[in-house]
Amino acid sequence: MKNIAAILVFILAVNSPALYSQIAVALHTEGEGVAREVKFYYRSDGFQQAYADAVDGDTIYLPGGTFSPPSSIAKELVIFGAGHYPGATTETGKTIISGDIRLAAGADHLHLEGLHITGGFSTFSNNVSVNNIRVVRCLISGAISIRGDKSNPSTNISFTGCVLASTATNFFDNIDNLAIYNSVINGRISGSEGNLFSNNIFFFTSSNAYLLNSSDNNTIRNSIFYHKSEWYWISGSTGNSWLNNIIEVEGPRFHSTDTDAGNYKGVAFSPVFADQNGSAFSYEDDYSLVNPEAYTGTDGKQVGIYGGVFPYREMAIPVIPNISSSSVSPTTGPDGNLNIEITVEAQNEN
């Protein structure tokens, strides 16, 4: 992990509302000795300021609060927020990006984690190629749109432990090697070719649109589907592999060229989970399985978001240290010191 000391300084010094009335964005420039630098930005446009000053390889830390994004991202950056679950951000507040994240050429190796993006996630225009992008433990309210004709494709884009909340269509026309792991997906998929969807929960409720549209040769495995129609599964899509998924209906109408193997069909959606209500993602629900041993995936682990290679982290806490509690005395003591107690919990990399 990059410069743990700098992270702790950032969290303890500027991310506790009990200590400071202003929040700060921190820009960490990688280096050794005097070459290492941390700059702080206290204005409301701190994210945009930090981005303007950043160079490839830098890390931006966003505290709880609402920030407008740059018009596009065209640098190789790591961007951490404090998280998006209310229960995990009581001391810091959620990190909210107000608007769209748009990727331009040059955004290769971008890493986003612990953000609530109120808009969509897209490339700046069709046939823009961005590569090796990781989006981890983020909530994205808008649709995903990586579009083009594959003349200049993006490659190696992954979403892990995310909530893709939009019920609109997610377009993946211009991606090779897309992977969505252990995420909640509300919208349908279009234009995906040869990609991987593993250990997800699909909330798809439309009765007049298809879950998979113009999407060929994908692998959809170890996932759970809230989709009550036998008909509206695929349109213009062939050669997809449906493996070890929990499917509520008995007879989903896949294409004749699709692989249908190991699926658990006719399994009611809500009773599978410890506590689930409604037809969309909710912070109040518990998506752990009541009987995980009854529904194993292609890897022998449980299906759903708590199985697979990247099990869902409780409350999607980002990998940076998390403030779980804080206490500040209202007055100083006889010696003039102010009593401050802050509990910081370290996080594992995965």
**Exposure string over 182-196, b if 16+ CB within 10 A, otherwise e:** bbbbbbbbbbbbebb
100 has pLDDT over 90: yes
pLDDT band at residue 19 under the 50/70/90 scheme: very low
Q: Is the whole model's pTM more than 0.85, yes or no?
A: yes
Q: How far apart are CA 166 and CA 149, in angstroms?
A: 24
Q: What is the mean pLDDT of the chain?
A: 89
> Any long-range contacts for 223-230 (C-beta under 8 Å, 24+ apart)?
223/197, 223/198, 223/199, 223/303, 223/304, 224/200, 224/269, 224/272, 224/303, 224/304, 225/269, 226/201, 226/202, 226/269, 226/279, 227/202, 227/252
**CA dist., res. 123 & res. 72, Å (int):** 9
Residue 335 confidence class, pLDDT cut points 50, 70, 90 = confident
Q: Which of 199, 122, 207 is nearest to 167 (CA)?
A: 207
How do residues 297-327 score in pLDDT, each as one tens digit?
A: 999 999 999 999 999 999 999 997 666 545 5
Categorize the per-residue pLDDT at 91 as very low, low, confident or very high, splitting at 50, 70 and 90.
confident
Rounded Cα distance between 99 and 92, Å, is: 21
pLDDT above 70 for 20: no
306 C-beta neighbours (distance < 10 Å), count: 17
Q: Please tell me the predicted confidence (pLDDT) of residue 320.
A: 77
Stretch 39-43: mean pLDDT:
92
What is residue 334's predicted lDDT score, i.e. its pLDDT? 75
* DSSP strand pairing (25-29 vs 37-41): antiparallel
> Residue 227: which of 214, 240, 244, 208 has the closest Cα?
208
**12 versus 228: which is more confidently predicted?**
228
Q: How far apart are CA 172 and CA 155, in angstroms?
A: 11
Given a contact cutoff of 8 angstroms between Cβ atoms, the answer to whether 246 and 262 are in contact is no
Q: What pLDDT shows up at residue 299?
A: 98
pLDDT for 339 equals 62
* The pLDDT of residue 101 is above 90: yes
